[in-house]
Amino acid sequence: MTDYKILKNSYYDSVTLMSTTVVIKKALKLTELVMFMGTDMNKEMIKSVGLYHQEMDLALPNDLILAADMTEINPEWAEFVIKQLSSKNISNNESQKSYKTINQAIEAIHPNLAIISVPGIYAAHEAYKALENNMHVMLFSDNMSVEDEVALKKIGIQKDLLVMGPDCGTAIINGKGLCFANEVSRGSIGLVAASGTGLQEVTVIIDRYHGGITQAIGVGGRDLSEAVGGMMMLKGIDALEADKNTKVIVLISKPPHQSVLDKILKRLESIKKPVVLCLIDAKESKKMTNVYFVSTLTEAAITALRLSGVETPDELTIDQQMIGTLNTHKMQFSSTQSKVKGLFCGGTLTAEALSVIRPYVKVITSNVAKKTYEKMENPLLSSGHNLVDLGDDIFTQGKPHPMIEPTIRLERILEEARNAETAVLLLDFELGIGSHEDPVGITIETLQEAKLIARNNKRHLAIVAYVCGTEKDSQGLKRSEDLLRNVGVIVASTNAQASKIAGLLVQEGK
């Protein structure tokens, strides 16, 4: 049976709703559960899962819509949901004062930065208000028009304010992690990135070798497009150049539009500080004395550390002991097993893995690929060497992002284990603020089941994983890595190294 409830004027942010849905669904043994604010886009999502009722047409954006599909009648299900949401709200705010509007916050605490996480059609309005009141803006919201993004960023430049986003998931400002971020040390390296997990990856590697950061500025994935013109990347460069504490600058992005790259390179000509330019899957386009071009996040972190005076090992090297381990795994593969299946939570980590593994195989496909022949026809269907970003909209529409709630990936892990061609599973795990409270722990049982599925079918499954985090993160880096090693997972020290290991396990002649 299906049931629904509409709660008038009951706003909950998307992160709270996403992180609570799976827990409530499991507790009530519901077949399906959706919890959305009553925007038009969210109503369409509810329709897509078959739980829509015509009375939902009357719901307003500030109304909460609950809809459930259950095998047994439970008249108290909605009350349970409300109680859970209320308790989470209390827990999240017990040490904080809550404000209903930006104006209330301005009057009470005079903030200088606003984080905006509302439906995209409303985000621009809130961002304009924040900028009018001389606040920097971080737009976690996505689905904003490019016209609004350009207009907001032009205002930011005029007022000497940052506009991070839209769809900006990570930043660390004055030592405070915003949205998805890791606990890292302060230091002398400043970063600007058009990538959330890319920014996380570089900062945690810097922290691992006792380096530190000044600021980590996110700009949103669209900033380096031709339409936006890299406005906030350039603004971030200006800010770090002016910051006396920043000795080395790191820029991170997937390859930008050529016109934007030209602007960035032109700007870098006048900077005296060393700059590490990490463009995933791109080649060096111009020799510059103070600019160090790299193509992986690992190289970006290691280069920045060395420029700041910290020597580190080569994190891409595969030592003899690891080569022996890989040979042991390869000898156990059956005749049908030859493919790597990457199941990622981080989009940029997926793109980096694609770049690293490509030389080892004839053809590899991904839903983040830019080259036409490498694009997956359907990310829901596995065939050949595949690297899938499970944070893509096709997976998360109406469901939590896998960094918040790993259920999407757990199901896919078992699906790939049943696939006779699967030799290697390649996984990433993100620790830190905003992520699941124990992303590795909740996955261990599934990994054991996946290995058992392969064994029962006279196959051997190799699992390679990387944990993006620090020991200061609440989930604990060492604890997370140990959990994986204890069930026979090969644990790498960086995402690029994990990708190289996976590539070596399935290496093909060309």
Instruction: Kindly report, residue by residue over 465-493, the tens digit of the pLDDT.
Output: 999 999 999 999 999 999 999 999 999 99
The residues, any chain, with a CB within 8 Å of residue 364's CB and separated by 6 or more, are: 340, 354, 357, 358, 374, 384, 385, 386, 387
The per-residue pLDDT for 447 is 98
Distance CA 24, CA 12 (A): 15
**Mean pLDDT for the chain overall:** 91
> Span 223-247, mean pLDDT?
97
Question: Collapsing DSSP states into helix, strand and coil, what is residue 85?
Answer: helix
The residue that leads in pLDDT, 255 or 191, is: 191
| Residues forming beta bridges with residue 189, ordered by sequence position | 213, 248
Q: Can you give the pLDDT at residue 10?
A: 85
Alpha-carbon distance of 33 to 71, in angstroms, equals: 12
Mean pLDDT within 452-464: 98
Distances (CA, A) of 228 to 138, 158, 257, 441, 478: 16, 15, 10, 40, 41
Q: Taking 80 as the threshold, does the pLDDT of residue 100 lie above it?
A: no
Q: What is the pLDDT of residue 506?
A: 97
Rg (CA), the chain: 23
Q: Per-residue pLDDT tens for 166-203?
A: 999 999 999 999 999 999 999 999 999 999 999 999 99
Is the pLDDT at 358 greater than 90, yes or no? yes
Output the pLDDT for position 396: 77
* HSE-CB of 90 using CA atoms within 13 angstroms: 6
Higher per-residue pLDDT: 73 or 371? 371
pLDDT given for residue 176 in this prediction:
94
- pLDDT (0 to 100) of residue 94: 47
Tell me how far the alpha carbon of residue 250 is from its chain's centroid.
19
Query: Any idea which of 118-127, 206-215, 290-299 has the lowest mean pLDDT?
Result: 118-127
Question: What sign for the dihedral angle of Cα 204, 205, 208, 212?
Answer: negative
Position 45 scores a pLDDT of 80
- In three-state secondary structure terms, 362 is coil
| DSSP single-letter state for residue 372 | G
Lowest mean pLDDT among 234-238, 262-266, 273-277, 310-314: 310-314
The pLDDT assigned to 89 comes to 56
More confident residue, 397 or 383: 383
- Full-model pTM: 0.88
Strand positions, DSSP E, 157-299: 163-164, 170-173, 176-179, 186-193, 213-218, 248-253, 275-279, 291-294
pLDDT for 96: 58
What's the pLDDT score for residue 88? 61
